Amino acid sequence: MIPSPQLLIEIAASLATITSAEPASAGSRWGAMHKLLLKAKVDPKVIMRLVGTRDLPALTKVVAQLRGEAVADEPPPPVVEVAAIDPSILKSALKVFRRRLKFSQLDAESRLGVGPMSSGVDRRIDSMLPPGDFPMAVWDALVADGKLHRDRDGYYGIIEDNSHIKW
C-alpha cells in the first residue's frame, strides 16, 4: 500500500533533515521519522531496527520503497575490520551499557506480579538496544573485544566473565 502523497512529502522532508543534521543532534528527528513510518504502515519491527540502529542507508531504501521505486537487493556487505577506538571510550560505553541494562532489569523486577510472594515469574532482561550516546562502531568494537554479544534485531547483551568461578 502506497501512503498518501502528503505523507510521502513529510517522510521525504524528514529524511532530508536527518541526512543533513549532525548525528549527535538528530535524535528528535529520528523520533519524528518513527512516527511518520508508523503512519505509513511500515512493519514496526523494521521501524525499530531502522530507528534503533540509526541505519540511514536502510532508511533511504525503505523511503524509496514507499515511493514505489524499485530497489535492487544488494548482497550483504563484506566483513569489515573494526576501526581502532580509544579504550577509554570503549570503557565508558560499556559502563553506560551495564548501568542502563541494570536499570532496565530493576524496572522489570519492580512491576507487580514479580517476586518471591507472587507467581515467581522472573523477568530477566538479557539484552537491549545499545544507548544512542555512542556510535554503532563502538558497540561493534565491544563485540569484537568479547565484552558484548550481538542478538537479533540490533540488540546487544553482556558476556558474563565467569573465569573467577572454580568448578
CA 34, CA 147: separation in Å to the nearest integer? 30
Kindly indicate the confidence band of residue 82, based on its pLDDT and cuts at 50, 70 and 90.
low
Query: Which of 78, 95, 105, 167 shows the shortest CA–CA distance to 138?
Result: 95
Instruction: Measure the CA–CA gap between 67 and 8, rounded to whole angstroms.
Output: 7
Q: Is the pLDDT of residue 74 over 90?
A: no
State the average pLDDT over residues 154-160: 85
| Region of residue 113 (left: phi > 0; alpha: psi -120 to 50; beta: else) | left
- Cα–Cα distances (Å) from 53 to 82, 123, 130, 156, in that order, read 17, 25, 8, 11
Whole-number Å distance between alpha carbons of 146 and 129 = 17
pTM of the model: 0.48
Per 3-state DSSP, what percentage of the chain is helix, strand, and coil (rounded to 5)? 55, 5, 45
pLDDT band for 78, please (50, 70, 90 cuts).
low
Average pLDDT (76-95) is 76
